[in-house]
């Protein structure tokens, strides 16, 4: 479940890499803010069981803000949302248990939906030419580098 959410979050942020946060319409900016909140929740819930040293979701949040290259105001808003999500779940679930595990799964589903919404926005990332000019087997919507010939 965590791996799937991490992949969706990474895909959503990378899929829009050249579209800086300030170029996003308000609805997308709100989705990013909601995703930052969900990442904060996930961070607190994961730390409840894995300990304070676990920085898995915090690192993903940092990657998301770096990828978005948001202006100072929006970057602050994302950080505040992450911290609010973290504080809410940390106070609600200070210890690991069945309830915190269920909450973690619910937050993962919410994060998947938000990341899926962002990843559904189609933007061509690496190629500016028509899809016909791509090597065979390369998805024109992929953010992965094309394989290099040997």
pLDDT in tens, 98-150: 999 999 999 999 999 999 988 887 554 444 444 445 455 554 444 444 344 44
Q: Where are the domains of the chain?
A: 2-17+26-125
Residue 9 has pLDDT above 90, yes or no: no
Could you please report the per-residue DSSP string of 110-134?
HHHHHHHHHHTS----S--S-GGGS
- Any residues with CB less than 8 A from the CB of 1 and at least 6 apart, and which? 105, 108
Cα angle at 59 between 73 and 81, to 5 degrees?
35
- Separation between Cα atoms, residue 36 and residue 57, nearest integer Å: 10
**Residues 74-85, mean pLDDT to the nearest whole number:** 95
pLDDT in tens, 27-70: 899 999 999 999 999 999 999 999 999 999 999 999 998 888 88
Token pair recorded at residue 129: 């030419």
């Amino acid at each position: 479940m965590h791996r799937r959410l991490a992949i969706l979050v990474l895909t959503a942020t990378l899929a829009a890499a050249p579209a800086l946060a300030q170029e996003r319409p308000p609805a997308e900016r709100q989705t990013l803010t909601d995703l930052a909140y969900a990442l904060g929740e996930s961070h607190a819930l994961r730390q409840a069981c894995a300990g304070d040293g676990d920085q898995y979701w915090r690192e993903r949040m940092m990657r998301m803000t770096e990828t978005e290259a948001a202006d100072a105001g929006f970057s602050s808003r994302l950080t505040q949302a992450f911290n609010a999500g973290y504080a809410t779940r940390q106070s609600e679930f200070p210890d690991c248990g069945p309830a915190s595990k269920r909450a973690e799964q619910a937050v993962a589903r919410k994060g998947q939906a938000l990341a899926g919404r962002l990843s559904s926005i189609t933007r061509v990332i690496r190629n500016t030419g028509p899809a016909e000019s791509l090597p065979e087997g390369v998805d024109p919507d992929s953010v992965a580098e094309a394989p290099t010939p040997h």
